[in-house]
Amino acid sequence: MIANENTDFVALGTSALVNPDWPNKVKENESLTAFDHRVLETIAVIRDEELDSF
């Protein structure tokens, strides 16, 4: 389990983009949707050389 009643901070990063219901999924022990960098193409222009960092 990632979080419990003693958790002060949880960093989500890219997971938050594809799992806006993350707290509910964790609570229900459901699997999280994997991040796919192609999601960024809908909100930003990514140059080919930038794709190497993913």
Q: What is the total count of domains within the chain?
A: 1
Q: Does 9 map to a domain?
A: no
Q: Does 48 map to a domain?
A: yes
Range of the domain at 41: 15-53
What is the rounded CA–CA span in Å between residue 42 and residue 10?
A: 26
User: Could you tell me the sign of the dihedral formed by the alpha carbons of 5, 6, 10, 15, in that order?
Assistant: negative
pLDDT digits 0-9 by tens, 3-17? 566 777 767 677 777
pLDDT digits 0-9 by tens, 16-48? 778 889 889 988 999 988 887 776 666 667 677
Q: How many CA atoms lie within 13 A of 44 on its CB side?
A: 9
> Is pTM beyond 0.85 here?
no
